[in-house]
Structure formats: C-alpha cells, structure tokens
Amino acid sequence: MITIAIVSQKGGSGKTTIATHLATAASKAGYVTCLIDTDPQATAAAWGDWRGGRDPEVITTPPTRLGRTIADVGKAGAQIVVIDTPPNADVAAREAVKAADLVLIPCRPRTFDLHAIETTAGLAKGSGKPAFVVLNAGPARAPSLFSEACAIVRGYGLDVVPFMIVDRAAFHRDAGSGRTAVETEPTGKAAEEIETLWQFVCNHVIMPSNKHGITESLK
C-alpha cells in the first residue's frame, strides 16, 4: 500500500483540490483508493458524498487516529491512500507526514504563500520522507514566475515538482457534483496536468501508473 500525504500549513493552497483529483486519478488507473480527510471542515468528505458512491472511497478521521485508520483501510484492501490535511494544524501535518511514503506540499506561486511554507518545509525535511512542493493555481504561460518560485522553494531545501498546476476553471466547475476535471474534461489541460502529476507520483514511489503489472509490494 502506498500513502501520499497532501500537507501545507498555509490555508488556501489547494490541498483538497489536489487530494481529490489525485485520488480520482489513482482510482481511474485501477487502484483501490481511499481518500482520508483529517480536516474538521470535512470538505473532501462532502465531495465524496456529492459523488454518490463513486470511487474513490472517502472517510474522515481525527489526526490522532490516522495511523489506525490507514492500517484498517489497508486490511480492507486499499492500495493507494491519499491524506488531505487541514491548515494551521501541527498534529495533523505531523501525523500525515509520519504515515506517508510521499509528501506533496501544494503552494501558490506568490511571495506570501511561498514564505509561509517554511514551517511545512522544516517538518518535511525533519521526517526524512521524500517531499515535493507542487506549485499550484498559478497563471498560464508564466515561465519566469515558475522559475522564481522554484528558486525560493529550493532555498528552503525542498524539491519542486517540475511543472505548475495552472489555475483553471475546470478544476472547480463541477466540484459541487463531486466530479473532477479528469471526469468532466478528460482531454482538457487540467486533466492533462493531473495525469502528469499522477505519473510523477508513480515514478517516485516506484509503481506502475495503472494497475496492470502491479507488484506484490502494493498489497
């Protein structure tokens, strides 16, 4: 079983958008996927309700029970776990990072947002887990902004996913019906960016990007 934590102690970074889209991509790739919502606001859980029972499964748990919850869903057959965390919550972030095989840190490519990830960067580096900043909700066709943001992130000692998730309407258009860009516009730019992110994740946890050829290490 592979566990991916989506962590940022800065609000408004797009954690839930990344978490729901990544979990959906994993599910569409054929993996039994569980999205665990540790945020008291339960936005991801509401999204799961709006999906009307379609995969991925979404469950809620308090951060203090995260380890037990992951163990339980693993016993129930989950192959991929994605953890959505709340902002400004040290315990939730710490527990998610502790449980993760890979940590993704969404961050808007703006000065204040980039400055605010310093605390999360310290947590990720201290864990020894592989961690990458996902520059999220940036403007299209802004290579200089992307380069400058990457330089700031690397100054904190973190690696960066080598592309930016652009602020596109497709990411939010049908969220109220529990649908993601991958489902509503499967050939669109937003879906392409999520597929690229999914491929990046698969490469770094060393697993196939679809269930065909899955190894015993995922069981």
Q: Is residue 15 part of a domain?
A: yes
Q: What is the DSSP letter of 54?
A: P
pLDDT band at 89 (very low <50, low <70, confident <90, very high): confident
pLDDT of residue 205: 95
* The pLDDT of residue 212: 59
Beta strands in 7-145 (DSSP E): 33-37, 57-60, 80-84, 102-107, 131-138
- Residue 218 maps to a domain: no
Residue 38 lies in a domain: yes
E-strand stretches of 7-90: 33-37, 57-60, 80-84
**pLDDT for the residue 9:** 86
Q: What is the DSSP string of 47-58?
A: HHHHTTTPSSEE
Overall number of domains in the chain = 1
Please state the pTM of the whole predicted model.
0.94
Segments forming the whole domain that contains residue 118: 2-212
Calculate mean pLDDT across residues 25-36.
97
- Nearest to residue 31, comparing CAs of 74, 69, 76, 80? 80
Distance CA 98, CA 189 (A): 33
Residue 52 domain-assigned? yes
Q: Is residue 172 part of a domain?
A: yes
